Amino acid sequence: MFLWLWRRLRTVRQPAESPPALPSDGSTPEGIFREAAARQLDAQISTNDVLDSRNMNIVVVGSTVLPLTFGLLSIGQVEIPYWAGVSLRASLGRYVLLLLTSWWASRFRGLGFRPDLLDLSEHSQTYSAPLLEQWVAIEYTRSAAENERTLKQKARWVGAASTLLYLEGLSLSIAAVVTLL
């Protein structure tokens, strides 16, 4: 069970895409290459947005659950047992780590996008259409290759923050159960 959960947390899901349409309009090989490279960049941008949203949700949930649990446990007239206190302190430590990993994941903000518009303007004056399309596709491919490393690092940090959120919830649950028993 834990192995399955760990794999799910470490996997970044790509947004669902419709399969590419087969060219029936007499597309050129350069056009097909450019379109495939553009789709890859679009998928990376979508993945980046998904990771940002997931990261934000992790912080919101972690920041909501912790004070609520502390507040609810302090309202009761029950003395908090030693092990519940230990578990509460552990959840607080995990929350701090969650904030740090989430912050680190948010530092991976920009994805590269090529071609440079000035270069494109210059090349559009001198290159033929097929050659220009192939050059644009190569630039898209370079952008995608550069972005891949950034997205993998960001996904690792978001995954770590997600794992810490689960551990924080587990610690809070243990504290609540020990206190109420």
Give the pLDDT score at 20.
Answer: 53
- Residue 124: inside a domain: yes
pLDDT of residue 22 exceeding 80, the answer is no
Give the pLDDT score at 90.
Answer: 94
pLDDT tens digits, 124-145? 888 888 888 888 888 889 989 9
**Separation between Cα atoms, residue 174 and residue 11, nearest integer Å:** 27
- Residue 117: inside a domain: yes
pLDDT of residue 101 exceeding 80, the answer is yes
- Residue 140: inside a domain: yes
- Residue 114: inside a domain: yes
Closest residue by Cα to residue 89 from 112, 103, 102, 73: 73
Give the pLDDT score at 71.
Answer: 81
pLDDT of residue 60 exceeding 90, the answer is yes
* Residues spanned by the domain of 146: 28-180
- Mention every residue, 6+ apart, whose C-beta is less than 8 A from residue 85: 175
Number of domains the chain is built from? 1
> What is the Cα 65 distance to its own chain's centre?
21
Q: How confident is the model at residue 18 (pLDDT cuts 50, 70, 90)?
A: low
Are the CB atoms for 113 and 41 separated by under 8 Å?
yes
